[in-house]
Amino acid sequence: MATQEVAIKQTVNITLKSDAEVLEEVVVTGYGNFKKSSFTGSASNVSTEKLQDIPTVSVQDRLAGSVSGVQITSTSGQPGAVASVRIRGMGSINASNEPLYVIDGVPMLNGDVSEFSYADSGNSLMATLNSNDIESMTVIKDAAAASLYGSRAA
């Protein structure tokens, strides 16, 4: 609600007015709307302004420092190489521990290009994106991601 100044009187009638700026305090998931303070899952929105200010080409490298609890480990020194991204540690021994990226409303597959029969490339699918073309990115890890996008989520 919007902040208002009220004159001090013996009886005070106040009408609450909505404020569009507090919409960032709400998290919308596949199974309901929650206040950020009461949401138990892990969802981070990265704004375009934050992404543009970071001087790196890789989308995953731009997440470092923009998403809380993220740990990015490069698997080699080759440009475009697959990076290991963990948010708040490992969640499973057997399943994927990679977070789910939703870029401009589209869930992004994790992995490298060699999984799609491009022999010995070892390049990340995320490295194929131009990070300057991204308008919004949401990084989701936990049951909220699984409920929205199935088994692709960590």
146 within a domain of the structure (yes/no): yes
| Domain count for the chain | 1
- Which residue range(s) make up the domain with 101? 47-152
Look at residue 28 and tell me if it is in a domain.
Answer: no
In a domain, 13, yes or no: no
In a domain, 97, yes or no: yes
Per-residue CA distances from 45 to 31, 49, 134 (Å): 18, 12, 12
Decide: 51 and 131 in contact? Cβ < 8 Å. Answer: yes
Query: What DSSP letter does each residue of 14-51 carry, written as one string?
Result: ------GGGGGGEEEETTEEEEGGG--SEEEEE-HHHH
Residue 116 maps to a domain: yes
Residue 69 lies in a domain: yes
135: three-class secondary structure by DSSP: coil
Please tell me the pTM assigned to this model.
0.58
pLDDT digits (tens, 9 = 90+) for 9-30: 999 888 888 766 555 555 555 5
Nearest 5°: the CA angle 103, 109, 111 is 130
Per-residue pLDDT tens digits for 94-116 = 666 677 777 877 777 666 555 55
Q: Which helix or strand (DSSP H or E) is residue 71 part of? A: strand 70-74
